[in-house]
Structure 1
Amino acid sequence: MIERPNDLPNHSRVDPFIGCEAADLPKPEGIAATWWRAKPPIGNTHPGACLPFGMVSACAYSGAYVSGYGRYGLSLSGGAPPVMFEKNEAIGIAHFQQSGTGRIRMYYNYLLTTPLGKGGLDERLMRRELVQEKAWPGYYGGQFQADGIGFEVTATERGAVHRYHFPESIEPTVVVDVSAGGLLVDDMGTYPQAAEFRILEDGSVAGHVVMEGIPLHFRCVGEGHAFLWEEEEQIDDQTYELTLEKQKYRPTFGFGFSGGNGRQMELSFGFSVQSSMRANDAMPGCGLVSAARDAAERWEGALAKIEVEGGTDEQRQVFATALYHATLKPAEFTDENPFTGKSGPFFFDLSTLWDLYKTQLPLLMTLWPERGARFVEFLCEVAAREGGFPISYLMDNVPDRFTKQATGLCHAILEDARVRGIQADWDRVLSLLWKTSQSGKGRKSRFGEYGRSYVVNPLSHTLDIAYAHFCMARMARTVGHQVIHDRASALSVHWRNAFDPATGLLREDSTYYEGENWNYSFRLLHDMRARIELAGGEGRFVQLLDKFFGFAEPGHGERIFRFEGLNNEPDMEAPFAYLYAGRHDRTARIVRRVMDHQFTIGPGGLPGNEDSGGLSSWYVWNAIGLFPVCGQPLMLIGSPLFDAAKIQLPDGEFTILVEGNSRENVFIQKAVLNGDEIGRSWLKIGELCGGGCLHLTMGPEPSEFGMKERPPSFFS
């Protein structure tokens, strides 16, 4: 098997196994010991081979929850995830896995590729223990212990390269189950709606399978001779077609060496969700060694976007892996639109957009503005075709997306892209946002209800929609659309209707998703000054936050729900609400406690679902001392973990230098931006994106930093 490259410094720090198993974190201390969890303490990540924002991911498949990798069964509550398999086992290598999600509507794991041992074809559905696993960005390998068969796989732009190592006693044979999909948990399997494949004259196999309404075209080149199976019988024909009557059959093709023993075999895949011609064009042009090296170099380029100095070896590994996890999704399928067949930007796997919009997409827009521009164009294409912007967007043909968790997120995402300098036709973007919110599906949606009654349930959606109107108003002011500006501005103020002035919190007469009213009460709204006044002023607002985070105990008979740490996303921005009341010291203490107690090395190194990069993006931002407010032109300053961070931006490098940093010295004593001292706890977005230097001096006790000048409020 190939060895990990030792000449790529950022690449070498990443451990793709972080988050693959139940959390095994440092014992929480102080306020961190008071936080609770709403979801299972497991990252649900997988160590498979992929490229940055890659279309393809390839990893061992056991059928376990939630990505198809690992040992765990269905788990939705805050308890430990149930163990489904006592050992880490796998059937073979599957493609197109999810990345660290919780429960979603459907799952992928297509074209399950299995090396056969002494048991022959009977082994194609058998799980065998995995040993000697190893992974680094772009590469995954290991061995099936029972037969001693080794495997390696790497991802390419639109394909994958597999290599299998067979012992001398086994005739090399690899099979591909075209009907595979989904999980082996609680009827979460996926059956093909149609499939057709054939052996070509050159001995390769090409065809397509339709899963969840999406045609997945493929071509596979293998060594040896190709053959076809249906169920348990080999097919003499060179072509196979799966009909609806045979939907639960298991059509399979494979490659083998007749009479050969003990050699390695490589398979190469090319994929397309648009056409067989594109699948053929996607075939890797090299073998596993070259493809793995190319993948490693691509990852080194992506990971070099932010380089840190200082901290411990463990902290640098956690950071590099967090940046890696933050760079997996959304999966870019540009020029692969399966619905229109047209060229242009396209993405899948927005399975947790309610997480991504807070931290991961601002990171993408900041570091990769060209990809951000494509993402903006993709969202507009979906809205124009489906009549609404997505809340999630999976690899299926279902236009009615999951809307229980949040509403109107694309309004914030698109305004955030604009303030970060993404190039787009913003007049068209605004037109689509307004049209889809006010007419068609929008008239019958929560947007329509909000426009009529100025409040919707769940009450957290009232905050979403008010914020969406704020974002449309800001965009309208920029493009010069006065009517939309005035109407959206008027509708942006009704977030107040979700709050109980007597408590300063969201009202309790609502059902909240994966949290309680406390967890949604400290969202960073567009008018935080008015929000704090509604709570009774800064002193009362800080008292509420202190109870929420564990600095103070509840009053007699008072029921509170504490911060979820980073186990879940509803309150992941809440630590920064303190800045709007002049208490930067509280924010600093909390974010350091989160980074100290909720992230570590090893398979149990994450506190909850990775959520397609939303969780790790939180760590990336906070480890360098910044935090985005999606849809607003500012970056909040936290408490950096590292002595230095260099951020590579299109208009120049932005450097954060930290003097006197340590585990105890978490409080900013002095901040100097480009040579000028500042007392504010935030940067203008242009101050970051234009490049420059922020020099922070740290100390063990709180200072007056951030006390006199608050982050800006809008529409106060």
Structure 2
Amino acid sequence: MLPRLRLLPAAFLLAACTDPPPADATDSDSGSAGTTTGGTTAPTTGSDGSDGTSMSPTTGSEEPELPGVFAPAPLIQHVDPFIGTGGSGYGVGSSYPGPQVPFGLARPGPDTTLTGGFALAFSHCAGYHYDDTEIQGFSQVRMHGTGIVDYGNVRVMPTLGMSPDKTEVGGYRVAYDKDSEQASPGYYAVTLADGIAAELTATARVGLQRFTFPEGQDPVVILDLAHGLPDVEVVGGQVEVDAEAGEIRGHHQVSGGYSGRFGGVRVYYALRASRPFAAFGSWDDGTPVDGAAAQEGPAVGAYVRFDPGEPVVIGVGLSFVDAEHAAMNLDAEAPDLDFEAARTAAEAAWEQELARVEVRGESPRDFKLLYTAIYHALLMPTLASDVDGSYRGLDDAVHTTDRPYYTDFSLWDTFRTLHPLLTLLYPEYQADMLRSLTRMAEDGGWMPRWPLGTGYTNGMDGESATIVFADSILKGFDPDDVGLASAYAAMRKTATEPVPPGSPYGGRMAVDKYIELGYVPVEAGGSSSSWTLESAYNDFALAKLAEVLGEQADADMFAERAGSWRNVWDPEQQFLVARSETGAFVPVDDPLTWQDFYAEGNALQYAWYAPHDLDGLTEAMGGREATLARLQQFFADSEQEVISLMPQQYYWQGNEPDIHAPFMFSALGDHAGSARWSRWVLRNRYGDHPGGLPGNDDGGTMSGWLAFAAWGLFPIAGTEDYLLGSPIFSEAILHLAGGDLRIVAPVTGDDAVGGTAAASWEGEPLAQPRLKHGDIAQGGTLRIDLSP
């Protein structure tokens, strides 16, 4: 069911939002030039008041009216948080419908199961699945779009009355009315089968729940620290009830699929209610005890009874530092527990960020796809510093900073699309994220590759932070401002020597063998070929960073190592495969079957994995024509593949290593090929329904891909290059820091991507279907012409 949205007051855009305050969005008229009803666009009137012409927002010159209307404001009405909350098998999106502000720590939301409490872990990485029928609580912290279950800390649940069975797993679990479920940016609501209405909103560090109980019943709110998400172990919890202050403080430590690698992640909380406690109690491993104020252990919880009456608002301040900082965050962000004020501020924050992009189109569905994708791309990483600048570092010590500090970087995924999107459109957030990674390296001693909460997880292969830094620095970020020298020193260390035994960071796989042989040998263990390919890409990024820092010897060394991908290219098999220490290539009997020497994927999908050296890969494949023919066959086979619950065998949009492949046509000068196949992916692997993501969103990676593809402008991460495709909007205006980038495509129909494609920049035809970041950073007009 689609979210039900209320109309927003005209002044809501002026409301305070969150920390850090978003950059001022460019004021512009994002309203509709006409009206849209039932998917049919009414005739429009040009913005200059005449029929059939409009003024260009960039140049002010008159031009023929482009098809469609601008997405009408408020833009949050086009966001559907239920997209990506469903799916099955490898098509699970792992999103959730609960509220948060951009990159906020507080993510209160429903944790759901099927009837009887069954919840397959892989389908509940964010705690929720759209097909579920019961709610087992509202936890305050989670991740978005991951393929591993973690967090789920600090669960609260409204219930009617208190009994011993409600201390057990599922004891308070209840069915809910699916038709009552609503979700929009900053707001979630549902009615439970026992008649309780639950509403959720959030500030940056506070989760707010408003519970309305049926008249004449016994209102109780449970704080359960004994249970969590499926396959997540509770390590410990603490409750301290202060009835006079109307507050409960403590911590909740869980050990999930990734946090279990460093002993679990501990979240501190301070819970307050908008009405006095009529009674309270707590439990430890079972029986509830009325009036018991303190408990500590792995199976503890508390409960609060209220007198019947008006709704109860529960605010939960959160912190990684301690309970006092959680209370400080609550004092600063929701001192009066004003639910409506918090909701209005959250909606204003989202409207301001979405307004950095304006699009004109003919399909309300396309508006929904794009703005939901941007919404998803602004959910993670996670704010991890408190209102006073305190944060707990990867060394488990408390530090302070004058800038927001973030964690939960799914770097192997997000370096490809999410961080380039932030670099382009949200540079102030990206700068703080780079500073956060630098601080992580300084605090913990190593640049992480998948930090979660306060620890190293060593998730996935490669050291993708190198590409994140290179992508931003090459696109104009100040090296000193983001601490590049310090970050580079940390990244160089693990690129040139093994980490010592007992290090919390695993370092590069078999880095000594990689340096000696030019590849990671298959004898080193699983994912050896993937490690070679990622290391070559990472070395390419390090070479670029070394040049910026004036380290020419390093730049030369890493530039040479960037070609290491060639050492696993088998010219006979025509694949990037594993290689033994003797130099022999490992034969691949079936290129459609997953191999242990790839991280995730098969030989056909990994054949394209040298994004930093597509010219070299083209040469290895026999030249431009041979590569284009092979690429065309790759997608032609993909078009015929029947999607199942199993991994896809040809092009796999739901997995990262080949998601640049649709735009490789443009890298080879074939704009029409990229126009056709990027559009095919967008139309056939995405949708406006709960199963509408092609797999785990991976912290916004798949959503970032959709946004770029919808504009027809795709980044090759770690470089300055954007490759061109086929916009689905006749006009897109991206409000960049240096000026408005306007992308115009007079013909956008799906039937217009099988013919020719041409492009011009500022009125001059482009010789090749690509642009540099420096070309577009100060704004201008890109025109893409497609023909059936």
State the TM-score bracket (shorter-chain normalisation): 0.7 to 0.9
8 Å CA contact 2:495, 2:508 repeated in 1: no
Displacement of 1:253: 2.2
What one-letter code is carried by the residue in structure 2 that aligns with 1:114?
M
Residues in 2 aligned to 1:13 and 1:491: alpha-carbon distance in whole angstroms:
46
How is 1:443-458 mapped onto 2 (pairs within 5 angstroms)? 445-456=509-520, 457=522, 458=528
Deviates further, 676-685 or 289-298: 676-685
What one-letter code is carried by the residue in structure 1 that aligns with 2:607?
S
- The runs of 5 or more residues in structure 2 that have no matched partner are 10-72, 256-263, 500-505, 523-527, 579-585, 587-594, 641-646
Aligned to 2:384: 333
Alpha-carbon distance change, 668 to 425 in structure 1, aligned in 2, over 3 angstroms: farther
Deviations 1:313-345 (A, max 9, x none): 111111111111111011121335222311234
Aligned residue for 2:246, secondary structure, equals coil
How is 1:92-491 mapped onto 2 (pairs within 5 angstroms)? 92-102=137-147, 104=148, 106-117=149-160, 120=163, 122-123=165-166, 125-131=171-177, 132-145=180-193, 147-183=194-230, 188-199=231-242, 201-212=244-255, 213-222=264-273, 223-225=275-277, 227-230=280-283, 231-235=285-289, 239-243=293-297, 247=298, 249=299, 251-257=300-306, 260-261=307-308, 263-283=310-330, 284-286=334-336, 287-334=338-385, 335-338=389-392, 339-344=396-401, 345-350=404-409, 352-395=410-453, 397=455, 399-403=456-460, 406-423=461-478, 424-441=482-499, 445-456=509-520, 457=522, 458-491=528-561
Alpha-carbon distance change, 570 to 253 in structure 1, aligned in 2, over 3 angstroms: same
What one-letter code is carried by the residue in structure 1 that aligns with 2:437?
L
Aligned residue for 1:175, secondary structure, equals strand
8 Å CA contact 2:75, 2:355 repeated in 1: yes
Superposition RMSD in Å:
2.8
The number of residue pairs the alignment matches comes to: 652
Alpha-carbon distance change, 282 to 5 in structure 1, aligned in 2, over 3 angstroms: farther
Matched, 1:90 2:90: no
Structure with greater contact order relative to length (CA < 8 Å, sep ≥ 6):
1
Displacement of 1:176: 1.0
Deviations 1:408-428 (A, max 9, x none): 211111101111222323333
Residues in 2 aligned to 1:271 and 1:601: alpha-carbon distance in whole angstroms:
33
Displacement of 1:238: 6.0
Residues in 2 aligned to 1:444 and 1:604: alpha-carbon distance in whole angstroms:
36
Aligned to 1:26: none
Residues in 1 aligned to 2:749 and 2:638: alpha-carbon distance in whole angstroms:
26
- From 112, 115, 125, give the equivalent of 1:62: 112
Aligned to 1:675: 763
Alpha-carbon distance change, 275 to 662 in structure 1, aligned in 2, over 3 angstroms: same
Residues in 2 aligned to 1:60 and 1:580: alpha-carbon distance in whole angstroms:
44
- From 607, 614, 627, give the equivalent of 1:541: 627
8 Å CA contact 2:602, 2:649 repeated in 1: no
- The runs of 5 or more residues in structure 1 that have no matched partner are 24-38, 77-82, 555-559, 701-716
How is 1:552-571 mapped onto 2 (pairs within 5 angstroms)? 562-571=649-658
Residues in 1 aligned to 2:492 and 2:266: alpha-carbon distance in whole angstroms:
33
The alignment's TM-score, normalised by the length of structure 1, stands at 0.85
Aligned to 1:613: 700
Residues in 2 aligned to 1:372 and 1:530: alpha-carbon distance in whole angstroms:
31
Alpha-carbon distance change, 197 to 112 in structure 1, aligned in 2, over 3 angstroms: same
Alpha-carbon distance change, 689 to 64 in structure 1, aligned in 2, over 3 angstroms: farther
Residues in 1 aligned to 2:452 and 2:5: alpha-carbon distance in whole angstroms:
35
Deviations 1:510-567 (A, max 9, x none): 622331011111124322222111111112212221221126999xxxxx98533423
Alpha-carbon distance change, 195 to 551 in structure 1, aligned in 2, over 3 angstroms: closer
8 Å CA contact 1:549, 1:562 repeated in 2: no
8 Å CA contact 2:498, 2:511 repeated in 1: no
Residues in 2 aligned to 1:553 and 1:303: alpha-carbon distance in whole angstroms:
33
Matched, 1:572 2:627: no
Aligned residue for 1:18, secondary structure, equals coil
Aligned residue for 1:433, secondary structure, equals helix
Aligned to 1:662: 749
Residues in 1 aligned to 2:84 and 2:129: alpha-carbon distance in whole angstroms:
17
Residues in 1 aligned to 2:492 and 2:328: alpha-carbon distance in whole angstroms:
40
Residues in 1 aligned to 2:458 and 2:529: alpha-carbon distance in whole angstroms:
20
Residues in 1 aligned to 2:240 and 2:638: alpha-carbon distance in whole angstroms:
65
Aligned to 1:708: none
Aligned residue for 2:280, secondary structure, equals strand
What one-letter code is carried by the residue in structure 2 that aligns with 1:533?
E
Matched, 1:652 2:739: yes
What one-letter code is carried by the residue in structure 2 that aligns with 1:470?
F
Alpha-carbon distance change, 676 to 370 in structure 1, aligned in 2, over 3 angstroms: same
Residues in 2 aligned to 1:547 and 1:418: alpha-carbon distance in whole angstroms:
36
How is 1:581-660 mapped onto 2 (pairs within 5 angstroms)? 581-660=668-747
Aligned to 1:29: none
Residues in 2 aligned to 1:393 and 1:84: alpha-carbon distance in whole angstroms:
25
Aligned to 1:505: 575
Alpha-carbon distance change, 567 to 469 in structure 1, aligned in 2, over 3 angstroms: closer
8 Å CA contact 1:567, 1:609 repeated in 2: yes
Deviations 1:147-174 (A, max 9, x none): 1110001011110111111111312211
What one-letter code is carried by the residue in structure 2 that aligns with 1:224?
P
- From 71, 82, 99, give the equivalent of 1:49: 99
What one-letter code is carried by the residue in structure 2 that aligns with 1:504?
Q
What one-letter code is carried by the residue in structure 2 that aligns with 1:375?
M
Deviates further, 273-282 or 314-323: 273-282
Deviations 1:653-707 (A, max 9, x none): 111111122121125643221232212211111122221111222211xxxxxxx
Aligned residue for 2:451, secondary structure, equals coil
Displacement of 1:463: 1.4
Alpha-carbon distance change, 323 to 84 in structure 1, aligned in 2, over 3 angstroms: closer
Deviations 1:211-236 (A, max 9, x none): 34443221111123152311444446
Residues in 2 aligned to 1:323 and 1:586: alpha-carbon distance in whole angstroms:
26
Aligned to 1:36: none
Aligned residue for 2:346, secondary structure, equals helix
Residues in 2 aligned to 1:340 and 1:503: alpha-carbon distance in whole angstroms:
51
Deviates further, 378-387 or 539-548: 378-387
Residues in 1 aligned to 2:406 and 2:254: alpha-carbon distance in whole angstroms:
17
Displacement of 1:305: 1.7
Deviations 1:460-489 (A, max 9, x none): 221111111111111111221122112212
Residues in 2 aligned to 1:190 and 1:64: alpha-carbon distance in whole angstroms:
20
8 Å CA contact 1:318, 1:601 repeated in 2: yes
Residues in 1 aligned to 2:130 and 2:733: alpha-carbon distance in whole angstroms:
43
Alpha-carbon distance change, 444 to 99 in structure 1, aligned in 2, over 3 angstroms: closer
8 Å CA contact 2:739, 2:778 repeated in 1: yes
8 Å CA contact 1:215, 1:274 repeated in 2: no
The alignment's TM-score, normalised by the length of structure 2, stands at 0.78
What one-letter code is carried by the residue in structure 1 that aligns with 2:377?
A
